[in-house]
Amino acid sequence: MTRNTFTTSDGTQIYYKDWGDGPVVTFSHGWPLNADAWDGQMHFLASHGFRVIAHDRRGHGRSSQPSSGNDMNGYADDLAQLIEMLDLKDISMVGHSTGGGEVVRYIGRHGTRRVSRAVLIGAVPPVMLKSAANPEGLPIDVFDGIREGVAGDRSQFYKDLAIPFYGANRDGAKVSAGLLEQFWLWSMQSGQKNAYECVKAFSETDFTEDLKRIDVPTLFIHGEDDQIVPVHNSAKKAARLVNNAREIYYPGAPHGLTATLQDRVNADLLAFLRA
C-alpha cells in the first residue's frame, strides 16, 4: 500500500491509493466521504487477484480543496487524468452514490476506450431533483436543507446524516457506533465549500444522455430501503437507459450497503467482474 498524489491540469492535488496486481478496478466514492469508504471492497478484490485504485475526490479526504471545479464535469475530468496518468486499460469502474454519477459522467465525456464494464451502487443517476420532467424526484427543499446543514453546524449535521445513511433508524438494524463515527470522521475531512457545492452537482446534474452512451456491461446494485437516493427514482430509471444492464436489488438495504452488507456486495462484485 503506497501513498500517492498527482496534480491535475488546474493545479489540484488528488490523493489516490493503488493496491494489488491484475485486472484494474477503479472506485469513485460517495459524498462527502473519501476513498477509505471502499476499503472493504478494495482489500477483498486485491486479495482475489485485482489491482484496485481509489482516489479522494477534489475537496474531499486527503485531496486539496480548490475553489473551482466542484461539479460533475470537474470530477469526471479529474478521474480521466488519473486514468491517463497511470495509463489504465480495460478498467472496471465502480461508483457509489455521487461516485456513480462521476463514473457515468466520465463515460459521457471520455467514452469507454479504456473501460470494460461499470458498476453503479446506490448511484444518483439519472437525476435526483424533482421537476416537471422528473416528478418522482426529491424537492429542492431537501437539498437546500443539506446545504444549510453543511454551511451551519456541519459536525452535528454529519452525525445526524450517518443514521439514515446506514439505516440505523430502522427496527432491527445492527449498525455499530464505530461505523457511524467513521462516517462523521470522513465527512469532516471534506472542505466545507467543496461539500456545499457538491450538493448541486449530485442533485441537479442530469445524467440521461451520459447513461445512453454506456456501451459496456453494467451492473446496478441498490438497496430497496435507501433513504438517501430512493431506488425508484434512480437505479430503476437509470437501468432502462443502459443497454443490457443487470440489476440487483437488496430488500431492506440502506444507502451505505457497501458497509452494512459488505460481504454480499463483495460477492456480487466479484461475480460480475469475473463474468
CB 252 within 8 A of CB 223: yes
Q: Tell me whether residue 29 is one of the annotated catalytic residues.
A: no
Note whether 154 and 128 are within 8 A (CB).
no
Task: Look at residues 96, 34, 137 and name the one whose alpha carbon lies nearest to residue 257.
Answer: 96
Tell the burial category of 14 from Cβ atoms under 10 Å away from its Cβ (0-12, 13-18, 19+).
Answer: buried
Locate 275 and state its grid cell.
Answer: 463474468
Give me the amino acid identity at 11. G
Catalytic, out of 97, 187, 203, 234: 97
Report the b/e string of 113-144 with b at 16+ CB within 10 A: ebbebbbbbbbbbbbbbbeeebeebbeeeebe
Q: Which positions ≥6 away from 105 have C-beta within 8 Å?
A: 72, 73, 75, 76, 205, 207, 210
Q: What single string gives the DSSP state of each residue in 200-224?
A: HHHHH---HHHHHT--S-EEEEEET
Of 56, 104, 274, which is closest to residue 202 (Cα–Cα)?
Answer: 104
Cell reading at 104: 457515468
The answer to whether the CB of 120 falls within 8 A of the CB of 269 is no
C-alpha cell at position 221? 446494485
Which one is catalytic: 210, 226, 234, 268?
226
97 part of the active site:
yes
**Would you call 226 a catalytic residue per the annotation?**
yes
Residues noted as catalytic: 97, 226, 255
